[in-house]
Amino acid sequence: MADGTKTGPAAAPPAPARRRRRWTPVLFLLPALVLLGALVVYPIGYSVVRSVLDKAGESFVGVDNYVTLFTDDSIRTALANNLIWVALAPTVATALGLVFAVLTERVRWGTAFKLVVFMPMAISMLASGIIFRLVYEQDPDRGVANAAWVAVHDTFNESSAFPKAHPGPKSPLEKSEGGSFTTREPARAGEPVLLPLVGVAPDKMPEDAAPAAEAKADPGKVTGTAWQDFTRGGGGTPSVVDPEELGYPGIRVEAVKDGKVVAETRAGPDGTFALPAEADGAQLRFPADNFREPYNGVDWLGPSLVTLSVISAYVWMWAGFAMVLIAAGLAGVPRELMEAARIDGANEWQVFRRITVPMLAPVLGVVLVTLMINVLKIFDLIVVIAPGSSRDDANVLAVQLYDSAFGDRDLGVASAIAVLLFLLVMPVMVTNVRRLRKEARR
Amino acid sequence: MLAAAAALTLSACGGSGGDGGKDDDAPKAKGPNLKGQTVSVAAVWSGPEKDAFRKVLDAFEESTGAKVTLVPAQDPIIGFLESKVAGGGQPDVAMLPQVGAIEQAVANGWAKPLGKGAEEALTTNYSKGWADLGSVDGTPYGVYFKAANKSLVWYNTAVFENAGVEEPKTWDEFLKAAQTVFDSGVTPVSVAGADGWTLTDWFENVYLSQAGPEKYDQLAKHEIKWTDASVTKALETLADLFGNKDFLAGGQSGALQTEFPASVTQTFTGGDQPKAGMVFEGDFVSINIGQTDAEIGTDAKVFPFPAVGENSPAVVGGDAAVALKDSKGAQALLTFLAGPESAEIWAKEGGFLSPNKAVDTAAYPNDVQRDIAEALIAAGDDIRFDMSDQAPQAFGGTPGKGEWKALQDFLKNPKDVAGTQKALERAAAAAYKE
């Protein structure tokens, strides 16, 4: 081999040298090819083969595993969710990134702002998943999303003082429409009534609550007592005002005749109330707004919202990535074009819409496609954020793949999912490669 | 193959060399001398449980001179071991949390039967019920080191005192107590609906007590269907509680987002106005109570799961140590775990029950733990292993699937008993077929 190198004229290389020249690149490529083959081509090929074998990997089952993909309920949810993900997450992240990039160009502290928006990218998916798990916590005392939501809600819609109050055993009250409680018998003037309620602990009573008292009889008025008919430590005697029991201060009482409210009042600190003579013969009612439950916020991680909640967490992470790429693209857009448009009388929106966005189109395309590929394989955020009870509703293909492979230990179905994911990524990849080629030619 | 044989011989030599025990280096305690050997143990424990188990292993290290590494495993442990075995790196010993897992490990040919020493310790220290749970086809494989009594209801004593309620003995009394607690102004029950396994435990206790042990065994083997009338009855009973929004902390939807640790802490924080008055689960609840300011025995007490039928149920769980390699170290560790000393170490740490009848109950840190442990030993062979843990993993042990999912849907909509049964049967039929 070695002696071939120095012989022969320079004009026409001899045959061995030519052959060697053909083999040199192959030799250099060989390590890469071997690695690619072992780490990429072989696994893909084996996944395809494995996807037509049964659970144990011993017998051929044809397309059975692929049929399972479209018949199994949780895999179908996964497919549907993946569609939502691909449709929503990349577009929202790119749109937000575009807005941030264009706006930060114009503010003084633009770099600082960019830094803040980009920062979530520095956190691992797992960590940001844990952060958002806490953000979305149902209890408004723990989850910041609900804390904010409840605060806004409560400014417009106050909760009541007696959310869990209800008639106790042997109470003359019964449930009526809309969560209110009404007496069975009509009340008479001059005969004080007892309206016992239970379900509010003494510590949770309004501060002005005083020990309950029986109302005095007044021939011209309908009087009565509304109180917590439960003695701490032993229940007390039902329907009797026991000494330690507290009144329901400020509870609203209505007198209802034939479905019409004829009089209403509020109870005093000791729970006593007095209605004018018109109330004679009317049924007494505690309207439902006495018992409105404290607003508990939104079920962020419940079955219906969980996917959107996780997508928001994803957007929080990746909007910064989109912004940085788009800002880089923006720096390359010639200023003269925008200046010229402005001189021609275009307003800022028109400049943005007709100049900036079209000029940025290639960058936007790259960002979108990158995010799409990224979103198709989303896994960690869902595993971390979705609680067990709505995990199935938040399912996506990558999570299902893991469950099938390591939970059900059905490598056949898992491989079929892998192949499906591969097929889904393919068109996106092909467009990406085409675009890159086109740009290289330019 | 050859390498493995060589390794075996080597370890055997190392072991027997030390057995004489006359070396100056020999440790003081009685275990065999395993100086220089490493034993790896896989377990799914984390947090305080892992720390406590580490102390047990430290004691083993001290008495034998062997080095023990604790391999953190993930649930489901069978899946974890499968990948380890496939790679040839299986641990010497695995702590298997299910009867089904032991059977699978045996069927796959991974598990090694107990050696002579371990078997002797097992027969002297354990009741037949527990020895049988660790055996497959009459051959003992597993030593149940840690047991769980899953038929307990924990309650906040301040809440019960304020409401003037006694510990209920039957399901009706339980519901009545719940109503009284609710009347006093506290939500009665905390349900950890986000973790499906707590729901399966709810069902199993009701079912075992109501339908009896025979039906329980049949359902566990899927010899009767989940659409059986006995299941209907049990679910309807459970719906007495789950169907009442006022009885559950956070209502049904709130319960579905409550994970087990939170279900315990919310019952024992907030003075006499906690988010719930009672929480159901096994003895291990005490670990989570330990993370609150509540004191077990004074602020937090426990009563047996109320009897729905004639008797209170006794549903148990447990972690069995199974050897995956024929090494001397593995067998020595199993023998150690089958003895009382190892269990007493963890018993002192709390949150632990030993099915080992030779364990001195004085080792438990408080009366509550001691009572639970003594009740477990007293239950003898009448115990029933957690049903979902006996079922195939796909049915009884996968988050968001099978029984877990079906019962979570049931908690969401407790009126739909028939639909729940259908979903359960569909999932069971698919999982048991294989």
Instruction: Write down the ipTM of this complex.
Output: 0.75
For residue A348, the model assigns a pLDDT of 87
The band of B434, judged by pLDDT with boundaries at 50, 70 and 90, is low
A55 at interface of B, judged by CB pairs closer than 8 A: yes
For residue A159, the model assigns a pLDDT of 67
The band of B24, judged by pLDDT with boundaries at 50, 70 and 90, is very low
Q: How many angstroms away from the CA of A393 is the closest CA of chain B?
A: 9
Q: How many angstroms away from the CA of B181 is the closest CA of chain A?
A: 8
Q: What is the CATH number of domain A72-149+300-409?
A: 1.10.3720.10
How many Cβ contacts (< 8 angstroms) between chains A and B?
103
For residue A65, the model assigns a pLDDT of 93
For residue B305, the model assigns a pLDDT of 92
For residue B30, the model assigns a pLDDT of 59
Mean pLDDT of B247-269: 91
For residue B17, the model assigns a pLDDT of 38
In order of their start, the domains of chain B are 38-149+316-378 (3.40.190.10), 152-313+392-433 (3.40.190.10)
First CA to last CA distance, chain A: 43
pLDDT at position B28 over 80 = no
8 Å CB contact of B184 and A203: no
Q: Residues B241-246: contacts with CB within 8 Å, 24+ apart?
A: B241/B175, B241/B178, B241/B189, B242/B191, B242/B410, B242/B411, B242/B414, B243/B414, B243/B415, B244/B178, B246/A164, B246/A166, B246/B182, B246/B187
What mean pLDDT is reported for chain A?
88
8 Å CB contact of A389 and B408: yes
| Ranges in chain A annotated CATH 1.10.3720.10 | 72-149+300-409
Who among B185, B399, B404 is closest to A201 (CB)? B185
What mean pLDDT is reported for chain B?
87
Q: Considering only CA atoms, which of A233, A287, A229 is closest in space to residue A255?
A: A287
Tokens of residue B263, six digits: 């279900």
Chain segment B349-391, per-residue pLDDT in tens:
887 899 999 999 999 988 888 888 888 888 777 788 899 888 8
The band of B338, judged by pLDDT with boundaries at 50, 70 and 90, is very high
Asked if B233 and B240 touch (Cβ cutoff 8 Å), the reply is: no
The band of A13, judged by pLDDT with boundaries at 50, 70 and 90, is low
DSSP, collapsed to helix, strand or coil, labels residue A182 as: strand
For residue A298, the model assigns a pLDDT of 87
**Residue A22 corresponds to which amino acid?**
R
| Residue to test with chain B: of A309, A389, A391, A408, most B Cβ within 10 A | A389
Minimum mean pLDDT range among A121-135, A291-305, B153-167, B184-198: A291-305
User: Using CB atoms within 10 A of its CB, is residue A122 exposed (0-12), middle (13-18) or buried (19+)?
Assistant: exposed
| Contacts B272 to A, Cβ<8 Å | 201, 203
Q: How many helices (H) and strands (E) does chain A have?
A: 14, 8
Mean pLDDT of A180-205: 88
Q: What is the 3-state secondary structure (H, E, C) of chain B?
A: CHHHHHHHHHHHHHHHHHHCCCCCCCCCCCCCCCCCCEEEEEECCCHHHHHHHHHHHHHHHHHHCCEEEEEECCCCHHHHHHHHHHCCCCCCEEEECCHHHHHHHHHCCCCECCCHHHHHHHHHHCCHHHHHHCEECCEECEEEEEEEECCEEEEEHHHHHHHCCCCCCEHHHHHHHHHHHHHCCCCCEECCCCCHHHHHHHHHHHHHHHHHHHHHHHHHCCCCCCCCHHHHHHHHHHHHHHCCHHHECCHHHHHHCCCHHHHHHHHHCCCCCCCCCEEECCCCHHHHHCCCCCCECCCEEEEECCECCCCCCCEEEEEEEEECCCCHHHHHHHHHHHCHHHHHHHHHHCCCECCCCCCCHHHCCCHHHHHHHHHHHHCCCCCEECHHHHCCHHHHCCCCCHHHHHHHHHHHCCCCHHHHHHHHHHHHHHHHHC
For residue A16, the model assigns a pLDDT of 67
8 Å CB contact of A302 and B257: yes
Who among A228, A230, A391 is closest to B399 (CB)? A391
- % of residues, chain A, pLDDT over 90: 39
Tokens of residue B256, six digits: 């579905």
Who among B193, B398, B405 is closest to A407 (CB)? B398
The band of B284, judged by pLDDT with boundaries at 50, 70 and 90, is confident
| Contacts A306 to B, Cβ<8 Å | none
Chain segment A22-69, per-residue pLDDT in tens:
888 889 999 999 999 999 999 999 999 999 999 888 889 989 999 999
8 Å CB contact of A198 and B183: yes
Chain segment B64-80, per-residue pLDDT in tens:
999 999 999 887 788 88
Does this model's pTM top 0.80? My answer is: no
The band of A145, judged by pLDDT with boundaries at 50, 70 and 90, is very high
